[in-house]
Chain A
Amino acid sequence: MTIELQRPVDGQIVFDDPENLSFRVDRRAYTDDDVAAQEITKIFDRCWLYVGHESEVPELGSYVSRDVGGRPVVMARGSDGVIRVLANSCPHRGALICSQSTGQARSFRCPYHDWTFSNQGDLVGVPLPDGYGPGFRKSDFGLARHRSDSYRGFVFATFDPEQPLTLTEHLAGATEYLDLIADQSEVGMEVIQGAQLHGARANWKLMMENSVDIYHFRALHKRYVSYIESLGTMAPRRRGGFARALGRGHGANELVPAAARPLAYWTPMFPPEVRSRMEATAARFVERFGAERAQRITGANRALMIFPNLMIIDAIGITIRKIDPVSAGQMSITSVALAPQDEDPDIRELRKSHYLTFLGPAGFATPDDIEIIESCQRGYLNRTLRHSDLSRGMAKEVPETTDELPAREFWRQWDRLMHDDDREEGHHLTRRAERQGGQRR
């Protein structure tokens, strides 16, 4: 198996040809087991990966356990207040030291032989210690602490001790969009209890592409469009806005809302009672941030793609969607809702209620996204067609949200990492570079 992992993927996968306004991806990228295996070692073992939000561990000793990049970890706020990302595997012989998905604890006790670890990861208790030799030191057997950092409440970790980038460097232009989300509350944002845990029988990258693709909105989501129109909100036919590549594989769309935004953008789909309050909130944002930035925060929808596997969609609600590969043809999806901590209870109810109409495995939109990417995956079985096309908007000075620029940014970073080219020049791909073809390997 190790030998297999070392074998380079045969031939070129990403065909990036800006001169001819052509961008194609070999469909083996979605189906090939070798590609899937190499993504783990070249991308998930090395990149900064999203772990969770600080609000999920609000108290001293709060923790959550989950898989990140295929590895079980615990994100814990120690008794010292510091948030750490710890390996959820006993240094003794490997058992999970935490089997609850969430909780609060002073210490973690491994159920196998009762080794006990503080909530900071230190080994504090070993039964029958006289069985070990004089050289045995507890300090050598603490839980592995992964390198982690947070940006405005979003916690990331990397499993690569040699990862040369700080988290902020890795996030590159995406910080601007994280700011637009984190600034939606003066006291802080919080994850709402209740995660939507689902998956798809499709390659994980198809969900990344789908999540940042506005081109399909009117075609695939007709029923959602008719639903919001039935509530008196007209989804504009041309949504305007713009798409951006944010460097290091990240991308974003920003556009006119198709529906209300519970923060401070009222449309008739919300009850009239909350209108003046929402308008007052919008006015407060103008005071705090000035008209232009306030308008961006309260009056625009955005989809932020953070390479490799995080999507944050800020629209009818804010969803944090973590997308994990399981195999070439299977992924798991974890979605939670993010909201201002200081939101009025009735507006929080509206947020949750309308969030569910669009988002999640039983919403009026996401099930069709799941089905269509599974359909793509099945379509790839016809190997006569070798490539997918992602060239929309390559000719444009300012690509629109219905263009495929963010997906191209994703693939360019993917290609660099898969070929170990990421530690050279050229992370920040600009429009000019796209036109001049400055990036081709």
Chain B
Amino acid sequence: MTTDTMNTEPAVDETAQMRLWHRVSQFLFREARLLDEWRLREWYDEMLTDDIRYLVPATDVRGEPADALGLIDDNAARLRQRIEQILNGEVWCENPRSRTNRMISNVEIVADRGTHLDVAANVVVYRFGHGRSDCYVGKFRLELAVEGESFRVRRRLVVLDHESLYEHGKLSIIL
């Protein structure tokens, strides 16, 4: 723990860091709530940058090799499309909509780069629908653009810890 900067910084900075951490956590909790409440357009409009990238790598590839195929690689347009499809009932496996509950924990500001933050967190998403219950366990690796007192997500990488999605079959919600 000797390298822990929080212990060696002056107290005033510690308070600032705690405030920042609190704001980041609140931001992530709000995001989870909007997604759980299927307020996807609001989430898209208010919480993401125009150049958002939403990525879920394949479960058999650790790390993030650039040349590997993943499960999801959405830019803003494709993510918007995903949202509209889910909301307008065209997605048969999300109609009726599944019920979800997202648990966000271990929120950590990995780097404060002034204009943006690198944030890590753990996420568990429970999903219930069409007679099934599924649980997705993963790690958030986020880049948050700083906008005054708040943020927007620019990069949303969700690394699943599952060895495969054998139990789930599919991933039809936004993690």
Contacts and interface: CB of A to CB of B under 8 A. Distances in A.
Given A201-B169, A230-B81, A362-B71, A194 B90 contact: no
B70 A367 contact: no
Interface residues of B, number: 35
Interface stretch (A52-60, A256-264, A274-282, A353-361): A353-361
B67 to A, nearest CB: 6
Nearest to A364: B85
Of B70, B90, B169, most buried by chain A (CB within 10 Å of CB) is: B169
B65 to A, nearest CB: 6
Given A198-B164, A352-B73, A378 B170 contact: no
Contacts of B171: 361-362, 367
A150 B2 CA distance: 58
B31 to A, nearest CB: 19
A101 B169 contact: no
Contacts of A362: 56, 71-72, 170-172
A197 interface: yes
How many residues of A sit at the interface, in one of the four size bands? 35 or more
Contacts of A419: none
B85 A223 contact: yes
B110 interface: no
A332 B166 contact: yes
A367 B134 CA distance: 14
Contacts of B57: 194
B10 interface: no
Contacts of B60: 101, 194-195, 197
Interface in B24-59: 56-59
Given A198-B165, A361-B168, A223 B73 contact: no
B170 A371 contact: yes
A23 B111 CA distance: 64
Contact of A223 (B91, B130, B170): B91
Contacts of A348: 67
Interface of A: 101, 192-201, 220, 222-223, 226-227, 230, 332, 336-337, 348, 352-353, 355-357, 360-362, 364, 366-368, 370-372, 374-375, 378
B71 A356 contact: yes
Contact of A197 (B70, B73, B163): B163
Nearest to A351: B69
Q: Which of B61, B68, B71, B170 has the most CB of A within 10 A?
A: B170
B81 A227 contact: yes
Contact of A192 (B59, B67, B73, B167): B67
Contacts of A370: 93, 169-170
Residue from the set A101, A353, A361, A378 with the largest chain B CB neighbour count within 10 Å: A361
9 contacts: A192-B68, A193-B68, A194-B60, A194-B70, A198-B165, A361-B169, A367-B171, A370-B169, A371-B93
Contacts of B72: 356, 362
A367 B172 contact: yes
Nearest to B175: A362
Contacts of A201: 132, 169
B82 interface: yes
The 9 closest A-B pairs by CB, nearest first: A197-B164, A371-B93, A194-B69, A194-B68, A194-B58, A367-B170, A223-B90, A362-B171, A198-B165
